[in-house]
Every structure is written in structure tokens, then in C-alpha cells.
Amino acid sequence: MKMNLEKIFFCTGARNHDLLKIFDSSKVKFEYDERMASFKALGLTKVAKNPVGICTTSGTAVSQCVSAMLEAFYSENPLVLISGDRPKKLHGTGSPQTIDHEALTRSCRRSYVEIDVSELATFSLEGLEFPVHINVLVDDTAPHAMDLVNHESISGFSAFLENVKKPLFVFSHENKSMRPLIEKFSKLGLLFYAETLSGGRDLSNLKTEKKLLELFEAGFFDGVVRIGHTPLTKIWRLLEKKPLPVFHFDSRKLPGLSFGEVLPMDSEALLKNTEFWDALDKLSPFPIGDETVWTLEKLIEKYPESEVATFKKLQGLFQPNDQVYLGNSLVIRFFELTQTSPLQIYGNRGVNGIDGQLASAIGLAMGTTKPVYCILGDVTTFYDLSSLREMPENLHLIIMNNKGGRIFDMLKLDKRIVLEHDNDFENISRGLHLSYSRDMKDFGKVKVLELSPSRDQSENFLREWR
């Protein structure tokens, strides 16, 4: 590429993955913590002959670079921030990991350029003032012919259902439990998928995302009704490529997609709205068999030391209504896959960043006297390591250490961004005087419980599950 960069600190992410092949591999250093990496880049600018780059994925990853960019701005250091971004049509929609990158760095850069990923290889820094922010639009979505429509009353939903007879209902999450609405809805016999943060995962009649995706790919549904904030499920990304009519009930008035019909009502308002229930009464139930539950149990039995099986064992240790804080990436996905009982689930899914997860769980624990169980992956824990200094008495940290960012393995991305390691958290925990164990029998008895699933069994499990 034309940019003459001394080095590029590449922070792993799916959105900036395609940028990796453009950079000179000899100049790339892989990182997982954008704040740390951006300051490394800043330090290198002080002695380097050429500008130094930091490349991040979208969302809060960009915000983590602001402190280093500010220092570079006032110190006049040649720092170059390259951020992978979602397609332009998703900006301002609340789509996963989509925020306003331009606004974030407005006060700490001297040059800003927004380009398509196809332009990056030939882009030149000539004529730009430092620090520079280059926002790269990575568009992996197909065009569609659907519009975005805002509604002011529930009558728009009734009209939507006149043309959609076999809708999928997705209950995602809000800033409160959606369980009362889901409990009433579950009695209608309509197909729905309740995510773990909704508070009603155990009530969902679509028990696995695998079954949900199979039905979607087979064209079983003729529309989607989403209640709550932007969902975690993969179907939300697929809808941009294979669009269906979508109706969004979102108190934020954000569609989470580039199209659909939106009404700003939350679950509490819907629970009391008679017109909503009258509209649903006109739909006919269409029950299905779900063989994926049997497949899941068989694979857990076959691979008892796999990561999913480990999550299944954890599920048996929680008491109904226990408070659980879940990190992002595989933790929340595998927990959702294995959850069968009612629990109070918390997490940060607004922008879906992995930063500050342990600190958020600490804040949650400070607000209650009940036990709080925080489950994080190893990379997420490393990201927020300093928070281990302050662990409330009622907080128990469970680290699922699979030796890297295995979400990128699942996405079949470049192996280098997995950042494989052979580290553990025992000495760190004991050095901070935190009780520690690797034995699940010590669940709830120690401050830090570190679990290390079998890599081979996990890979075999996922291969057969797919």
C-alpha cells in the first residue's frame, strides 16, 4: 500500500479483518487491547522515521484509541488511526458494533478521511496533517429494495400482520427483564426465539439458534417481529443479505437494520396494550419439531470436556433467579445455547464491545447484596485485568480460558488474529490475594474459578454441530 507506515498495531476484530491482507505483514504487530496498542503506537511515533498506524474494528474499539489520539494531537505526533466500519446504510440504525466514528475523533485529529475498503491499498497520506483518522467502510451486505418506516401507533403493527402470516418473533433485551411479556406471549403457541438477556430464555419454543437459522435459510418465515434492542443472533446479520419484512418494537426507535418498520414501544407497554394482543390473536400457531435439542445433548455426552459441555455443567450449578453477568463473544453464545432455567442475566450489548466487562460486573455487584457470577473469556479478562484489584465480596469471576479469541476460529478468519497463548490467571489471582481454583467443585466458594475446556473436543463438537 502507498501509506508509508513504520508499523501497524493490528487489534483483532471481524470488521477490520479484510484490511489485514492490504498491510505489509512484516510491519504488523497483533494486539487485542486497543487502548494499550494505541499508546504503543504513540510511543513508537516519537522515534520512528515514518508515521505509525493502529488498525481497529468498529464500535467501542475506536473509542479506546481516543486518549492516545488526544496526546498525539497536542504533542504533534504522526499517529494514524485506521478503523474498519460498517456500511454507510447502517450508520445511525443501532446495528451491532455501529457507532459514529467520525464524531469520536473530531477533537483529537487534524485529518479525517472516509474511504471504501477497495481504496485503502492505493491510499496516500500525502498532504494530510497528523494525527490522521482513516475510516474504512467494509461493505459485506447485498443491496435491498426495502425502506425504513417509522410508526407512531400500534395500528402499523396490525397492518404489518395483514401481509405476514408466519412471522418469527425475536425477544432480545432491554434495560429491564422482558420476562412478564414473554410469559404471556408463550401461551399463544407462536414460534419465538428469546435470547438469554431477555429474561425468558427458558421459555423459548425455539430452543437453539441452529434450529432458528435452519428455518430461516429454508424460507419457513415470511417476516420477523423483533421486540427489544438489537439482537445478538446471527439472523440479524443475515437479514441484510436475505431481507424479509421486519417490524421493530424498540424504545430507542432504532431498527438495528437498514430497513423495516419501527415503533418506539418497550415490553412493558406492549404487555398492557390490548391492540397488540388482538393483532396476535389473528395469527395461527404453527408448531414444529426440534431435533437440534437431541443433537445438542448427544454431542455434549460425546464431548464432555468441550467448551459447550463445560457451560452445560455450569448451568447445573446455578439456582433459579441467580444473578449472572455475561461477557461478549463465545461466552454469551454458549451460555444461551445451554441455558434451560430462569436466571437474571446481565451484559453489555448496546454496542457489543469486549472492553470494561469485568468493571461492569463489579459495578453490578456493588449495587446488590446477592451473589453475582461473572463469566468472561480469557481475552476479555486480559483486556480488563486492572479491575481484578477491586473484587466485591459478593462477586465470583468464572474465566473460560480457551487460550485465545476463538470467536475468530468460528468465523473462519485469519488464524493470526486469534492471538493464541498459553497463559493462565493463577499467579495473577493469588498475587492479588484472590482465592483461586480450577475445579468446578469450588463454584461459588472462590473469587476466581478458571476453566480450561479441551481444545480438540471443542473443535470436534463445533464441527459436528454445524
Q: What is the pLDDT of residue 408?
A: 84
Give the rounded distance of the alpha carbon of 131 from its chain centre.
29
Phi, psi of 45, deg, nearest 5: -60, -25
Q: What is the pLDDT of residue 143?
A: 60
CATH of 292-465, one of 3.30.365.10, 3.40.50.970, 3.40.50.300, 1.10.10.60: 3.40.50.970
The three state secondary structure string of 147-172 is: CEEECCCCHHHHHHHHHCCCEEEEEC
Q: Quick one: fold of 8-137? A: Rossmann fold (3.40.50)
pLDDT mean for each 10 residues of the chain (466 residues):
88 92 93 95 96 96 96 97 94 92 97 95 95 92 74 95 96 96 97 97 96 96 97 93 95 95 97 97 90 96 98 96 94 96 93 89 96 97 93 97 90 86 96 97 98 96 94
Q: How far apart are CA 322 and CA 341, in angstroms?
A: 10
Residue partners of 412: CB distance under 8 A and separation at least 6: none
* Packing angle of the helix pair 455-465, 307-315 (nearest 10 deg): 90
* Domain 8-137 shares a fold with domain 292-465: yes
Q: What is the pLDDT of residue 336?
A: 97
In CATH, the architecture of 148-281 is: 3-Layer(aba) Sandwich (3.40)
Residue 443, CA distances (Å) to 89, 403, 436, 440, 450 in order: 46, 21, 10, 5, 10
Region for 464 from its dihedrals, namely left if φ exceeds 0, alpha if ψ lies in -120 to 50, beta otherwise: alpha
* Packing angle of the helix pair 330-338, 209-217 (nearest 10 deg): 90
Q: What is the pLDDT of residue 141?
A: 63
Residue 219's SS3 state is coil
Q: What is the pLDDT of residue 210?
A: 96
Q: What is the pLDDT of residue 287?
A: 82
How many other C-beta atoms can be found within 10 angstroms of the C-beta atom of residue 251?
16
Domain boundaries, the chain: 8-137, 148-281, 292-465
Give the rounded distance of the alpha carbon of 434 from its chain centre.
29
**What cell numbers appear for 464 in the block?**
459436528
Kind and range of the H or E element at 377?
strand 372-377
Beta bridge partners of 198: none
Q: How far apart are CA 416 and CA 23, in angstroms?
A: 14
Q: How far apart are CA 69 and CA 377, in angstroms?
A: 28
Q: What is the pLDDT of residue 309?
A: 98
Q: How far apart are CA 5 and CA 52, in angstroms?
A: 5
Bridging pattern class, strands 28-31 and 8-11: parallel
